Amino acid sequence: MDAVYDNIESVFFLITRYAVLAIEIIGVIVMLFSVVRALVGIFKKEKTVRLKLAQGIALSLEFEMGGEILHVVMARKWEELLVLGAVILLRGAMAVLIHWEIKGHKRDVNEENEVEKLLAEQEEIPETVKLNAPENEQNTAVISENKVVSELESDVYRTNEVREKSK
């Protein structure tokens, strides 16, 4: 009976070892792919290069942590468990920091897009308001245009204030 148990245990450890290796290789591939994608994005001057790289690093870390957690199953000594626990804690802390960075970067990108959208709308207003209107209607349109423009400027000012306070 001990021989059967030993055979099952050795097969289990062999399968687990290969699974850990496969998961960690996937994590390395994800990291390499993210770095290459970021380099291409830098040359194309994309705005979201940092965001995409951070997301790739976070995904890679999650694969690596999965491999370490599976590796805990094979640990036979307390020293191995302590080392694995420390590695998992460090990778977990790095993942949390990267997710925090991703969240902040997404917020910044959304704010920039809103400001650009407001500025684009502001530039479109004079052309749309002055369409073949009679003299009195055109004066009224210009007054309402100035009101809309000042509201947009105050929105941009408030957005900049919020951004400064959040830093």
- Whether pTM > 0.85 for this model: the answer is no
**Chain centroid offset of residue 14 CA:** 36
pLDDT at 33: 96
Range of the domain at 89: 2-166
Examine the pLDDT at 103 and tell me if it is beyond 50. Answer: yes
Torsion of CA 74, 78, 84, 89, to 10 degrees: 140
Examine the pLDDT at 92 and tell me if it is beyond 80. Answer: yes
Residue range 34-84, pLDDT digits in tens: 999 999 999 998 888 888 888 899 899 889 888 888 888 777 788 888 888
Maximum alpha-carbon separation in the chain: 102
Q: In the chain, how many domains are there? A: 1
Residue range 108-143, pLDDT digits in tens: 777 777 777 777 776 665 554 444 445 544 444 444
CA distances from 44 to 35, 36, 106, 151, 157 (A): 14, 12, 20, 35, 31
**How many other β-carbons are positioned within 10 Å of the β-carbon of residue 121?**
13
Span of 99-108, 119-128, 135-144, 157-166 with lowest mean pLDDT:
135-144
